[in-house]
Structure 1
Amino acid sequence: MKLLYTVWCVFWLVLIFLLLFPGMYICLQREQWKPYAHWLNRLWGKLFFPMAGIRLEIEYRGQLDPKQAYVFCANHFSFLDIAVMGVIVEHYFAFVGKDDVKNIPLFGYMFRHLHIQVNRDSTQSRVSSLNRAIKTLAQGRSIVVFPEGGIRTKQPPQMHRPFMDGAFKMAIQQQVPIVPISLPINYKILPDKKPIRMHRYSMRAIVHEAIPTIGLTPQDVVSLRDKCFGVIDDELKRHHPSLK
């Protein structure tokens, strides 16, 4: 039954993307059209989860300014997190993600033209992606980052630590708030292990209050990083008492 459910989910994931891709492709041809490509990308997730029978439970604990750019930081235990962030983050944003996705047909094209790719094994690539993210924030567009640096933990829901500094450097550089996001259930829906199998759980996300960075300097990167980690970790512990 899990195999059949996985096939069902993959079918809808691919079909919806293929139906929306022509519109995405057109909107990616001009910079001023890219927000519409982003909207179609979000629509992909919004249509997929109901078809997969996954109920979304999203809790927003703070009031976010729709005109303000933010750096959104979430824990990362599952590849499902990428689709989830597109649904729960209502701002126009760019992902900072691994450049491996460029090899995925069609999806790689969309990601390459809409988001920021990084090869974390290359110092030059990390510096370049950080500079691009800072420029993106300066233009008023938000950034979404998984500050663990990928799916690195071996024992979800325990996060890999420490977080990488990039998200916090860019937030301080541009004096924009950090928004922690806790995703406590996704690793149960789509575990990061083989064979790939989807499981039916309600997806839960907690979008925490923004952490201001006004007045912070590069010397505050570590304290800001640890504060964000603590907010997400405390929420994970509330959902999984075994972590305490």
Structure 2
Amino acid sequence: MKQRKPEFIRGARANVPVAASAMAYGSVLGVLASQKGLGWLDMMYMNTAVFAGAAQFVMVDMWSSHMPIFEMTLAVLVINLRYLLIGASLDPLFSGKRLLHKIGMMHLVADENWAVTMSEQRRGSASTWFLFGGGVFLYMAWSSGTLIGLLGGGFIKRPEDYALDFAFTAVFTALAVGVWRGKSDVIPWVVAGGAALLTHHFLPGKWYIVAGGLAGALSAMIGPCEAEVDGEVEGEENAAGY
């Protein structure tokens, strides 16, 4: 227990910058939910049961009086398929842990605390409680933002006028910079971006998220490993006389 609490607090603190942005674009979701007639209990249940920003935006956007449950479920499933890749990348962190421990921790894994944890893992100082601390803090920030937007929805008719919608783009741009490892990431990132753009152009819905993630992952698997790339760079430097 002595080790859990410091790791939990450290994880929460590490996610403070991204949590501020999560609260901002969470407020946009709250405004949209207010315009759809959702109540605060609906919002809190959605935050707790789903806790996936992009999927929740799609759910609220599709919300209507005839409740297209099947369509909403399918759309959320497609968007959240990326968590298969996220979960796989966290396998070393959860190695040797019990199933209940994995289930409890993974429910609060979001793109933001995952990216922060992966950056910490490369320094060899991440843990499941670090991941969980960030998840709890993000959940609180996200829920606060959605409730603020929901309750103030009558006063903010157009969130884009206040640039609140840009917070979503800004935080993921910052996360991308944080997980960038250098030359070894160039090919997988280009492949992922190209696959996502092509899929978005030819297929409806959110399949581009899955296509980009899978294409990037496969490219990284079959491409040269990081050690080989580093060796090439070192060889180039030696040849140049450094």
Which range, TM-score by smaller chain? under 0.3
Q: Which has the higher helix share?
A: 2
TM-score normalised per structure 2: 0.25
Higher relative contact order (CA 8 A, sep 6+): 2
Q: Which has the higher strand share?
A: 1
Larger Rg: 2
